[in-house]
Structure 1
Amino acid sequence: MAQYQVTIDSEILQHLFVRDDGLARLVEQVVNQILEAQLTEQLKAAPYERTPDRQGYRNGHREKLLKTRVGELTLLVPRLRSGHFSTDLFERYQRSEQALLLAMIEMVINGVSTRKVRAIVEELCGTEFSRSTVSELCKRLDLVVHEWNERSLAHQEYPFLLVDALVLRVRKDGRVRLCSALIATGINREGYREILGLMIGDSESEASWSEFFGRLKARGLHGVDLVVSDDHKGLVKAVETHFQGATWQRCQTHFVRNILDACPKSLQRELHGRLRLIFDAPDLATARRLMDDVIRDYVQRAPKAIERLEAGFEDAMAVMALPERYRKRLRTTNGVERLNQEIRRRERVIRIFPNEESALRLIGAVLIEIDEAWTTGHRYFDMTEYWEWRKASVKRVKAAEDAKRSQVA
C-alpha cells in the first residue's frame, strides 16, 4: 500500500481544539496533500521538475465537495493538460461512508431513528432527501458489494480458512431481531490474507453455516487444510460436511474463556496462567504433560472447568501439527475479530439496522476496504515451509497406506 508524507499547518492544529470544524479542516488538508502526491506518482514528476520520465503536465485544480461524518470537505482535485487524473481515493473512502449514511437515512425515512442519527443526517444532508435518490444510491452500492461477495475464488487455493460471526440487531417485520454476520477470511497459497465472503444468518444454526460454506465452494473455494473458528453450535457439523479431510482448530481464546466461565472466580486468575503455559508449549507432548498437571491440581476445586479442558483439548491443539511459525496466528480467530471491531465502530452509530439489506451493505463496504488493504499490503505468511511440510506429509501418508496394503496382501 502506498505511503504518503503530509505536513500539517500549526494553525490547523490549533483550530482542532477551538473551532467546530477543526477536524474537517485537518482531514481536508491531509486529503489534498495525498491527491497532490498521487498526481506526482501518475505524472512521474513533481511540479516544475524536469525529467525524461514525465508523463504529462498539471493544469490547475477543480473543487470537489465531499460530505463526511467530520463535516464537508473542499478538495482540490488536480487537472491535467491532457488525459485524466486517476484516483480511487473518493471511491474507496466513500463506500463505507455512504453505506453508513444510507443506513441512517433509511432509519429517518422509516421513522425509527434516534436523536443522534437524525442530527447527523440533518448535518450532512439537510432535512430534505428524496426516497428515489436514496433507493438509487442503495442500488449502486449494493451492486458493488454483491459483485465483491460473488467474485470467483477458483483461481487460488486457500489452505487456511478462518470464520467468525458478529451478532447484530436488525429490524424485521416491525420487530427488532437478533441475527449474525457470518464472515470468512482465508490465507491463500502465496500467504496473503483475503476476506472471502459475508452472509447474514444465524450463527448457531448448522443450516446457516452450511449455506455459507456452500456459497463459498460454489464460487470456487478449494484446497482448505485447516479451519479455525469458535465452537458455535452447528458450525463444526457444517465444517465436517463441507471440508472433509480438513482439520478443525478450535479458537484457543474462546476456549480459555469457556473454561474460565466454569471456574470459581477465586481461582480464575491462577488457572488462566496455567492454561497459557499449556497453549504456549513448544510441542504436543509438553502440552499434554502440563494439562495432566493442571487436571491433578484443579480437578477437586474446579471440576466443571477441568471437564471442559479435557473435552476440548485435542481440538484446541490441532494447530500443533503445523510447522511452528504458523501456529500463533492460526490458533485463534483474533484476526477476524479485529474485522469485527472495525464493523462495530460504524454499527454503534446505527445500533439497530433498519433492515438486513442495510446491514449487508454497510458491513460489505467496510470489508471491501479492508480486503483491498490486505491484498495490496504485506504478505501475512511465508508459505514455503508450509508447502514443504505438506508435501512431506502426503509422502508419509502414502508410504503408510502402501505398507498397510502390502501387509494385507
Structure 2
Amino acid sequence: MQRLSAPERTREELRALMNGDLGTAAGRGDLVRLALRLIVEETLEGEVSDALGRERYERGEGEKPGYRNGYRTGKVKTAEGAVEYAAPQVRDTPEPFISSVRAALAGRTRELERLAVELYARGLSTRDIEDAFTDETGRRLLSRAAVSEITERLWAEYEDFCKRDLSEHAVVYLFVDGIAERLRPGQRREAVLAAWGVGEDGRKVLLGLMAGSKEDVETVRAFFQDLRARGLGDPLLIVSDGAPGIIRAIEECFPRSARQRCLAHRMRNLAAKVPTDLWPEFKTRVAACYQAPSRAIARQLAAGIRADYADVLPSAFACFDDDFGACIAHLRLPVTHRRFARTTNLLERLFVEERRRLKIIPNGFGEKPVLKLMFGALIRAAERWRGLRFTEFELRQIAAVRKELDQEYEDSITPLARSSQPRVSSKSAP
C-alpha cells in the first residue's frame, strides 16, 4: 500500500480548510500558510524527481541510482510566521544529494508569499514558479516539466475551491456589492460582483465572485442562480446598495428573505441633497429613525421628518422616503447584529484591500486572471475579520424572524394563487 506523500497530506489539510472542516486543519487563518507549504513541498518533490529521473514508487530498467527515504522537517520564516514543511530525503546516490531548492528558500520568502497568494489568485503560472526557484546566477532549480506538473496540480486545487458546495453553510446574512475593475486593456471598467455570507456559526465565507458588464438584472440574476445551483439557501437578510438591477434580482431570487438597503450609501446620498447648515439636524433626525428600537417607532419618527421637511427639502425627503422599508429592515434583527447588518461595509473594507493590491498592475491582463487575483486578495484580507457572535437567544430570535418572513411570503402569493383558480358558477347544476 502506497503511503501519502507530504504534498498529498498538505493538500488534504487544505481541502479540509476549504470545506470548512476547521477541526482537521490548523485554523481559519491558515489558508495562505498551507498554500505556501504545498508550494514548497511540491517543488521539493519535483526537484527529487528530476534528480532520480522518476516519480515516487516508479521503477524501471536503467534508472539512476538512489532512492527516496522518508522526509525530514524544514522551516521557512515568513511574514505569516514560521512555516514547517516536509523535505524528501534521498539515499544511495553517487554523491550526497543536496537540495538546491532548500538552499534558496532562506532568501526567497517574499517570492514564496507572493506565490502563496497567487495560488488562489492566478493559478500559479509556470513563469511564477520558475522565477521564484532560480538561483543567484539565473540557473533554474527545476526543469520545465517539473514546474508544469506543479502548476497543473495547484490550478486543479483552485478550480475545486471555486466549485465548492455551499449547502453546508447556513447563511443568515448575505452581503452583495460590485466593484468596477479594468478587465481588459484599453476598455472601460466593468463590474465584478462579490457575495459574502455569515453563517449561524458566525464565520464569514466568500460565496461568489463574478464579472459582468454592469450591475443589471440579468447579470445579477445569473450570479444568484449560480449560488443557488451550488446549494445556497435563503438568507435571513440580504444587504446591498441601491443599484436597481441588484434590488430586482434579490427580490426575484430570494423572495423569502428580507432586503436591507445599505445605510452608508443612503446617508451619503442624503448629504448631497441637504444644505450644509441644515445637515447636522437633518442627519440626527434620520439617524435616530434608522437606529430606532423597532420598525414601528422608526415609522413614527419618519412621519415627523415628513411633517418638518417634506416641503422645505423635497428632494432630500424623497430620497429618505424612497425604499424606506428596506432601510429599516435591520430593525427586525437581534439588537447586537443590527449595526453590523445595516451596511455593506464588510465588502467595502475588503474592496479597499483588493484595490491596494490590484493598483500595482498598470493594465488589465484578462478577465480570468483579474478575478483570480481579486479572489486571492479578498481571501487574505478577510482572514483578520473577527466574525459575529450568535447566542442561543439570538438564534431563537432569528428563527422567529424567518417564520415571520415565510408567513409574509405565503400571504403575498395567496391572492395570486386564488386569482389563478377557475371560477365556480353560483348557479345550481341542472
Shift of 1:290: 2.7
CA distance in 2, matches of 1:261, 1:252: 14
Q: What is aligned with 2:163?
A: 150
Structure 1 SS opposite 2:171: coil
Structure 2 SS opposite 1:195: strand
Q: What is aligned with 2:229?
A: 218
- Can you give the 5+ residue segments of structure 2 that lack an aligned partner in the other structure? 1-26, 30-74, 87-100, 415-430
Given that 1:161 and 1:186 are in contact with CA atoms closer than 8 Å, whether structure 2 keeps it comes out as yes
Q: What is aligned with 2:21?
A: none
In the TM superposition, 1:304-383 aligns within 5 A as: 304-370=315-381, 378-383=386-391
Given that 1:145 and 1:361 are in contact with CA atoms closer than 8 Å, whether structure 2 keeps it comes out as no
Structure 1 SS opposite 2:215: coil
Specify whether residues 125 and 372 from structure 1 end up closer, same or farther in structure 2 by C-alpha distance, changes over 3 A only: farther
Counterpart residue identity of residue 204, structure 1: E
Structure 2 SS opposite 1:350: coil
How big is each residue's C-alpha offset from its partner over 1:233-268, in whole Å with a ceiling of 9 and x where there is no partner?
Answer: 211111112112111111111111122223334433
Given that 1:230 and 1:250 are in contact with CA atoms closer than 8 Å, whether structure 2 keeps it comes out as yes
Q: What is aligned with 2:394?
A: 386
- Can you give the 5+ residue segments of structure 1 that lack an aligned partner in the other structure? 4-27, 43-60, 73-89, 107-120
Structure 2 SS opposite 1:187: strand
Specify whether residues 225 and 101 from structure 1 end up closer, same or farther in structure 2 by C-alpha distance, changes over 3 A only: closer
Match of 2:189 among 178, 184, 199: 178
Q: What is aligned with 1:94?
A: 116
Q: What is aligned with 1:299?
A: 310
Shift of 1:143: 4.1
Shift of 1:2: 9.0
CA distance in 1, matches of 2:346, 2:227: 20
Counterpart residue identity of residue 171, structure 1: R
Specify whether residues 32 and 357 from structure 1 end up closer, same or farther in structure 2 by C-alpha distance, changes over 3 A only: closer
TM-score by length of 1: 0.64
Shift of 1:150: 1.5
Q: What is aligned with 2:81?
A: 34
Structure in which a larger fraction of residues adopt helix: 1
Greater relative contact order: 1 or 2 (C-alpha under 8 angstroms, separation 6 or more)? 1
Shift of 1:155: 1.7
Shift of 1:312: 2.3
Counterpart residue identity of residue 169, structure 1: R
The answer to whether structure 1 residue 193 and structure 2 residue 204 are counterparts is yes
Q: What is aligned with 2:268?
A: 257
CA distance in 2, matches of 1:224, 1:66: 47
Specify whether residues 33 and 364 from structure 1 end up closer, same or farther in structure 2 by C-alpha distance, changes over 3 A only: closer
CA distance in 1, matches of 2:213, 2:151: 24
Q: Which has the larger radius of gyration?
A: 2
CA distance in 1, matches of 2:356, 2:270: 29
Q: What is aligned with 1:159?
A: 172
CA distance in 2, matches of 1:237, 1:397: 18
Counterpart residue identity of residue 206, structure 2: I
CA distance in 2, matches of 1:368, 1:102: 16
How big is each residue's C-alpha offset from its partner over 1:283-334, in whole Å with a ceiling of 9 and x where there is no partner?
Answer: 2233223323333333233210101111222110011112212111111110
Structure 2 SS opposite 1:183: strand
Structure 1 SS opposite 2:323: helix
CA distance in 2, matches of 1:35, 1:292: 60
Structure 1 SS opposite 2:307: helix
Counterpart residue identity of residue 342, structure 1: E
Q: Structure 1 residues 177-186 or 349-358, which shifts more?
A: 349-358
Q: What is aligned with 1:20?
A: none
CA distance in 1, matches of 2:154, 2:407: 53
Counterpart residue identity of residue 200, structure 2: R
Shift of 1:179: 0.7
Q: What is aligned with 1:56?
A: none
Aligned length: 317
Specify whether residues 167 and 282 from structure 1 end up closer, same or farther in structure 2 by C-alpha distance, changes over 3 A only: same
Given that 1:185 and 1:196 are in contact with CA atoms closer than 8 Å, whether structure 2 keeps it comes out as yes
Given that 2:117 and 2:376 are in contact with CA atoms closer than 8 Å, whether structure 1 keeps it comes out as yes
Counterpart residue identity of residue 298, structure 1: Y
Specify whether residues 146 and 33 from structure 1 end up closer, same or farther in structure 2 by C-alpha distance, changes over 3 A only: closer
Query: How large is the Cα RMSD of the aligned pairs?
Result: 4.3
CA distance in 1, matches of 2:121, 2:292: 45
Q: Structure 1 residues 363-372 or 316-325, which shifts more?
A: 363-372
Shift of 1:165: 0.8
Specify whether residues 275 and 395 from structure 1 end up closer, same or farther in structure 2 by C-alpha distance, changes over 3 A only: closer
Match of 2:278 among 257, 267, 282: 267
CA distance in 2, matches of 1:135, 1:273: 61
Specify whether residues 178 and 364 from structure 1 end up closer, same or farther in structure 2 by C-alpha distance, changes over 3 A only: same
| Percent of pairs with identical residues | 30
The answer to whether structure 1 residue 168 and structure 2 residue 181 are counterparts is yes
How big is each residue's C-alpha offset from its partner over 1:72-119, in whole Å with a ceiling of 9 and x where there is no partner?
Answer: 7xxxxxxxxxxxxxxxxx57872249958989x99xxxxxxxxxxxxx
Given that 1:158 and 1:188 are in contact with CA atoms closer than 8 Å, whether structure 2 keeps it comes out as yes
